[in-house]
Structure 1
């Protein structure tokens, strides 16, 4: 993985290369149970859900590859929402929190993507221009960068105020860490570390919670972790092999910047069905919270990691 990263970022330091490789490698497994989640949502066999998942990802790749700036811009916005919602879920926001506060926390949680986008820098700017000159000009403008930084800063202040009032000190430290990483660390390194050390592991922890809630195979936290890791292993290995093959081909026949751009498009395409599955999982979790809050038995959400 580090060798591939070194080809992609020839001007990066050895430390940056290792951190980017580590972050991406740690982040890949968190989507490896999507096909099982989708199978339960749609009440179909796992193989059917897997084929549909792959077809949607392939269609997304085609649109992103040939569709120009608009689908790429929409996907960047969708990714910000997806990553931010992931942080909102792990913050365990109390039931009844206002939409304004939730929106602020969404943008706060997505700071490790918003702030690097606003900062730009060597490697990222060239890659974005390869993806789309229009987007490169948009994100390279001073106005856009100021707006992105202002959105995150205001959101972080709103979130921090609420967290202080509720004495959520660990979450407040988390918000500060996101801000520091997004503001100080090299942009691509910042996102890779957040993706691998924040977003991915926390999503896996949520899958473990679903495994425990399902209760068909796991009655303890240790059993749930073991079951989740074992069931995610095949898809994780497949994702590693696919990404390595795609990036390896581009590295061999194209420029390093083109390879980075290709890898980003592949990851964005895979994120498309992943966002849909996660949204279904979160919706089911919200229904369970509502049912618990009003003292009713939980409805059958049909969302679990059952195979």
Structure 2
């Protein structure tokens, strides 16, 4: 069993355990839960995007300081446009964030998984919580984009929940015939999304599945024998994200604590996802698990 398969098995077992715990144990206060889970997303989830420098170097042959500056400026421009979208048209921002998240998460399952099954998997953690936790979803989205924008999007998600669940069950049955571990991953994500509180299910999925699998794939893609290179490549981007987060926290100090945390974490996540996808999806569509060609062929 390779590293990705082992990671998938560990995540799936953890997701089932968390789903069971969510139905039998009590919960922390809403604010305490938000603080802990938001911190986990920042510490364990967002850093996987800091490895984008590896993709940039391999895809575009970036080597010189000036080339890195230009890359950084384009990256920041894309991220800034997303923040502007949140500020000016929050409903469009939320709809776009959900769509690109589903598309991005759909890259997690193993090769050979049908496209429709990937989409159902990618959207499970965003759509299925509305079955039993729709008020919490509405509250979270309201903190993120305001009540009017949330009110425009949530009813649409609610309408998708049962068709999405049925589709996911069919996808699990289809995968079970040829790839039982992927079927197990789909089932565990679906169950977790249905029964666990929305922020808890998203945090475990984002950190334990999506980010962990991405880092394993980046390690393979980099062709390096040690994780030390990946850590060093991530250091500067992580420092930049930390500085921007601190600045945002300061400038939003008049915003209520819960809203401030949700907005900084998820607007920041959306802002980083767009340039991140511009790099990662290009590689994924070219079968990025195979050894990458020399950088000179990309530039």
- Aligned residue pairs, count: 264
Q: Which residue does 1:108 correspond to in 2?
A: 121
Q: Does the Cα contact within 8 Å between 1:284 and 1:303 map onto a contact in 2? A: no
Q: Does the Cα contact within 8 Å between 1:127 and 1:257 map onto a contact in 2? A: no
Q: Does the Cα contact within 8 Å between 1:246 and 1:263 map onto a contact in 2? A: no
How far apart, in 1, do the equivalents of 2:115 and 2:186 lie?
A: 14
Tell me by how many angstroms 1:150 deviates.
1.8
Tell me by how many angstroms 1:303 deviates.
9.7
SS of equivalent to 1:92:
coil
How far apart, in 2, do the equivalents of 1:258 and 1:18 lie?
A: 15
Q: Which residue does 2:59 correspond to in 1?
A: 41
1:92 pairs with 2:111: yes
SS of equivalent to 1:176:
helix
Q: Which residue does 1:62 correspond to in 2?
A: 84
| CA spacing shift, 1:49–1:129, aligned 2, 3 Å | same
1:193 to 204, 210, 215: 204
How far apart, in 2, do the equivalents of 1:187 and 1:37 lie?
A: 31
How far apart, in 2, do the equivalents of 1:177 and 1:70 lie?
A: 30
How far apart, in 1, do the equivalents of 2:130 and 2:181 lie?
A: 26
Q: Which residue does 2:149 correspond to in 1?
A: 135
SS of equivalent to 2:95:
helix
SS of equivalent to 2:135:
coil
How far apart, in 1, do the equivalents of 2:228 and 2:216 lie?
A: 12
1:24 pairs with 2:24: no
1:204 pairs with 2:215: yes
**Is the deviation greater in 74-83 or in 38-47?**
38-47
1:161 to 173, 177, 191: 173
How far apart, in 2, do the equivalents of 1:109 and 1:282 lie?
A: 15
Report Cα offsets for 1:206-232 as digits up to 9, x if no partner.
1011112xxxxx3x4xx2x22212211
Q: Does the Cα contact within 8 Å between 1:126 and 1:257 map onto a contact in 2? A: no
1:254 pairs with 2:258: no
Report Cα offsets for 1:13-35 as digits up to 9, x if no partner.
64664344223320011100213
Q: How does 1:117-132 map to 2 (within 5 A)?
A: 119-122=133-136, 124-130=137-143, 131-132=145-146
Q: Which residue does 1:5 correspond to in 2?
A: none
Tell me by how many angstroms 1:157 deviates.
2.1
Report Cα offsets for 1:54-82 as digits up to 9, x if no partner.
12111221122212422431222111111
Structure 1, unaligned runs of 5 or more: 1-9, 213-217, 290-297
Name the Cα RMSD after superposition. Answer: 3.0
Q: Which residue does 2:185 correspond to in 1?
A: 174
Q: Does the Cα contact within 8 Å between 2:127 and 2:160 map onto a contact in 1? A: no
Tell me by how many angstroms 1:36 deviates.
3.9
Q: Does the Cα contact within 8 Å between 2:37 and 2:203 map onto a contact in 1? A: yes
